[in-house]
Amino acid sequence: MALPEDLVEALLRALRDDPRRLAALRALLLEGSGQEPPWDRLARTQEEMGAALRDLARAQVRTEANVAALAERVGQLAEAQRRTEERLEALTARVDQLAEAQRRTEERLEALTARVDQLAARVDDLTVRLEALTARVDQLAEAQRRTEERLEALTARVDSLAARVEDLTVQVGALTARVGGLVGESVERRYRERPFAYLWRIALGLEALPSRELDLLLREVGGPQGLTEEEEAEVRELDAVLKGSRRDDGREVVVAVEASARLDADDVARVLRRSAILARGPFPVVPVVAGEQAPPDVVELARRQGVWVAVDGRTLEPTGAGA
């Protein structure tokens, strides 16, 4: 029986592609060559070859299908490989970026570490200084405590001394007043008892008026109406009322004296007021302030208002008010 042409071509292509099939076909043709007639054997062989060729054809179809599927799979794998490579390239770039960022981070970390080391060194230094300062403050606090204790003791002592000084001040004030009074009395007594020794430039023969003569003088001063009690008391408050003769014309004069240990403006005012009362009588009146001490302004005031000033062994005549 004749074989189809396309089957023969497929058979030949299969035999060319796989030499092992050609050897198997040759062995099949030679098998049993002496046992049956050639045409029977050929027919059988032809049938077997047809079956084999059909098997080969089916195998070829399956192989081509597998190859096509494999090619498609390979294409898919190639596409997947391409995408993988793209992703790998992107990942590589990202890794490079991360590596660069890591490098910068490490550089910054190193710089920060160095900075932290510097700060740590400064903190250590500050800690040492703070400890030293704390110790110094503790020392100062202790010194302050001791100082406060000493100050409290000193304050108590000063308070005690202040109290004593206050007591002494009171005593000195009282003593000063007493001494002033004594000095004033001494001055008054000197000018009453020895007026000729201190006031000789004013008048000669000066003597203190006895009580009876002073009474007569006050009656003459008061005239028919007499002095008021206040006026008479003012005159009797004079420290000394003297009588003598003026040096220039020998005329009899009355000298009114206000004496103090330390002269002041009140002494000047008093002697002027009391002398004005005496001046109502028949004799001229010479006002005098006398003392141990006198401020310059008081001396100037007295002399300007017509009052003689006897102080510190000197007798100063008036410069105004009818001098």
Q: Do strands 240-246 and 252-262 pair parallel, antiparallel, or not at all (unpaired)? A: antiparallel
| Domains of the chain: total | 1
The answer as to whether 262 is a domain residue is yes
The answer as to whether 229 is a domain residue is yes
The answer as to whether 312 is a domain residue is yes
The answer as to whether 165 is a domain residue is no
Q: Is the pLDDT of residue 165 over 80?
A: no
What is the pLDDT at residue 85? 86
How far apart, in whole angstroms, are the C-alpha atoms of residue 51 and residue 136? 117
Residues of the domain holding 247: 194-316
Q: Do strands 308-311 and 203-208 pair parallel, antiparallel, or not at all (unpaired)? A: unpaired
The answer as to whether 230 is a domain residue is yes
| More confident of the two residues 13 and 172 | 13
The SS3 of residue 202 is coil
CATH number, position 245: 3.40.1350
> What H or E segment, with its residue span, contains residue 255?
strand 252-262
How far apart, in whole angstroms, are the C-alpha atoms of residue 257 and residue 88? 135
What is the pLDDT at residue 178? 53
Token readout for 299 is 């001396």
- The closest alpha carbon to 277, from 229, 209, 208, belongs to 229
Give the residues across from 207 on adjacent strands. Answer: 243
- What is this structure's pTM? 0.47
How far apart, in whole angstroms, are the C-alpha atoms of residue 94 and residue 107? 20
pLDDT in tens, 113-122: 788 588 778 8
The answer as to whether 293 is a domain residue is yes
pLDDT in tens, 23-45: 777 776 666 555 555 556 666 77
What is the pLDDT at residue 256? 96
How far apart, in whole angstroms, are the C-alpha atoms of residue 114 and residue 311? 94
The answer as to whether 151 is a domain residue is no
The answer as to whether 291 is a domain residue is yes
How far apart, in whole angstroms, are the C-alpha atoms of residue 290 and residue 257? 7
> What Å distances lie between residue 155 and 57, 140, 143, 148, CA to CA?
134, 21, 17, 10
